[in-house]
């Protein structure tokens, strides 16, 4: 019988670098007396992220939401953008703030990404782009999506908040589409406390994004366009530079944790692991399972509640669907009957605790709690069945 944990175990924990190293770097910032506006720390991190992500162009921002919002603005999109309902609210909120109408496409039942086979049927004369999300770090069908975009002359933007450092057949995730957004929020594998970035192929976007994230200011006497204050500051960049040094170590730890989860849950009927990718193909951002109520014997919500009783705080990620937001109720694409796979997925998914500081013993104990729930329900089912036969 599994035991409850004495202290809470949460779904994630921020990757914190060596505090002495951060302090030393902060002294450099203090000595420079420049806390923001593209200082030395910002420029150094930008250079190192270019190398790590293997990109030619990158712009960094104070958070991922503003990065995506201004990235969409920089591409000068209008009308409708085809996207997924199964994502964090920020994805579609960035569309809202650009006066773009989301057209929700159902998801693939295996990867839970936007279903590339269903995109083409949603394209109208108002469609200007496809906004895909690499959900839980699983890459979208990038080749199929690009083929559709080329056919209809559409832009392709990827929300890569979960996909930092991942590759598809050896190609960095940022190598696909016109633009990729990365989140550097504290919950992400790589973080700058808060922060984000855009990677892209068009050098012309360097100047436009530089203006958009800094009020549209060209110089002391000229403002070229209406922008925002979305700059990454020197404190954020300083933390990021030290975090980047320990990312590979964290990936290795998460790899072992992932294997422990998989080995312990392999024999539990009704549990499917969604995040199966490894090594360079994986971002090691989340470990996510799908719970089949019929086979497992209980619902995802029941398992979620039982884990909480044992001081384990998994997350129903993503719930609710973005298409269920009240302000989309008038959209035909948001109607539940048009999104059957997404409606199923949102009731089955559970993101498990997953971070390098989580011990292997704790992971095994979490799995034992899940197995106990399954066995209890299985025994109860057989008891009811015997009584009915008797």
Catalytic residues: 188
Q: Look up tokens 């919950």; give the residue.
A: 187
Q: How far apart are CA 354 and CA 357, in angstroms?
A: 9
Give Cα 272 distance to the centre of its chain. Answer: 19
Nearest residue to 48 via CA among 322, 326, 283, 242: 242
**What distance in Å separates the CA atoms of residue 242 and residue 29, rounded to the nearest whole number?**
14
Q: How far apart are CA 170 and CA 56, in angstroms?
A: 17
Q: Where are the beta strands (DSSP E) in 190-250?
A: 196-200, 217-219, 222-223
Q: Do 266 and 374 touch, CB atoms closer than 8 A?
A: no
Handedness of CA 250, 251, 255, 257 (dihedral sign): positive
**How many residues in the chain?**
390
CA distance 177 to 174: 8
Question: Facing residues of 137 across strands?
Answer: none
In angstroms, rounded to a whole number, what is the distance separating the alpha carbons of residues 268 and 366? 13
Q: Which residues of 336-364 are buried (b: 16+ CB within 10 A; e: fewer)?
A: eebbebbbebbebbbbbbbbbebeeebbe
List Cα–Cα distances, 34 to 54, 165, 220, in angstroms. Answer: 28, 30, 18
For strand 179-183 and strand 196-200, is the pairing parallel, antiparallel, or unpaired? antiparallel
The Cα 217–Cα 215 span in angstroms is 5
């Amino acid at each position: 019988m599994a035991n409850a944990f004495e202290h809470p175990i949460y779904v994630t924990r921020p990757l914190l670098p060596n505090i002495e190293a951060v302090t030393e770097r902060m002294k450099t910032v203090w000595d420079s007396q420049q806390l923001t506006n593209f200082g030395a720390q910002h420029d150094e991190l930008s250079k190192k992220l270019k190398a790590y992500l293997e990109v030619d162009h990158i712009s960094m921002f104070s958070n991922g939401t503003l990065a995506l919002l201004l990235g969409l603005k920089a591409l000068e999109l209008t009308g409708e953008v085809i996207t997924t309902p199964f994502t964090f609210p920020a994805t579609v909120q960035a569309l809202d703030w650009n006066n773009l109408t989301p057209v929700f496409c159902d998801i693939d039942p295996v990867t839970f990404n936007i279903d590339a086979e269903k995109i083409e049927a949603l394209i109208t004369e108002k469609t200007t782009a496809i906004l895909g999300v690499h959900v839980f770090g699983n890459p979208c069908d990038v080749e199929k999506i690009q083929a559709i975009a080329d056919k209809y002359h559409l832009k392709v933007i990827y929300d890569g908040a979960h996909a930092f450092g991942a590759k598809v057949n050896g190609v960095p995730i940022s190598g696909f589409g016109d633009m990729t957004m990365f989140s550097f929020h504290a919950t992400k594998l790589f973080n700058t406390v808060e922060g984000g970035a855009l990677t892209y192929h068009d050098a012309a976007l360097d100047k436009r994004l530089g203006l958009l994230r800094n009020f549209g200011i060209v110089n002391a006497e000229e403002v070229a366009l209406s922008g925002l204050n979305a700059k990454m500051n020197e404190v954020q960049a300083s933390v990021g530079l030290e975090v980047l040094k320990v990312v590979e170590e964290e990936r290795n730890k998460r790899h072992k944790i992932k294997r422990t989860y998989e080995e312990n849950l392999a024999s539990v009927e009704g549990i499917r692991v969604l995040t199966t990718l490894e090594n360079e193909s994986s971002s090691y951002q989340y470990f996510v399972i799908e719970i089949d109520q019929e086979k497992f014997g209980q619902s995802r919500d029941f398992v979620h509640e039982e884990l909480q009783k044992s001081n384990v705080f998994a997350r129903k990620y993503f719930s609710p669907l973005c298409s269920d937001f009240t302000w989309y109720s008038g959209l035909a694409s948001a109607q539940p009957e048009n999104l059957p796979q997404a409606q199923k997925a949102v009731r089955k998914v559970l993101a498990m605790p997953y971070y390098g500081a989580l011990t292997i013993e704790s992971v095994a104990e979490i799995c034992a709690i899940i197995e106990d729930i399954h066995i209890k329900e299985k025994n109860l089912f057989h008891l009811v069945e015997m009584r009915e036969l008797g």
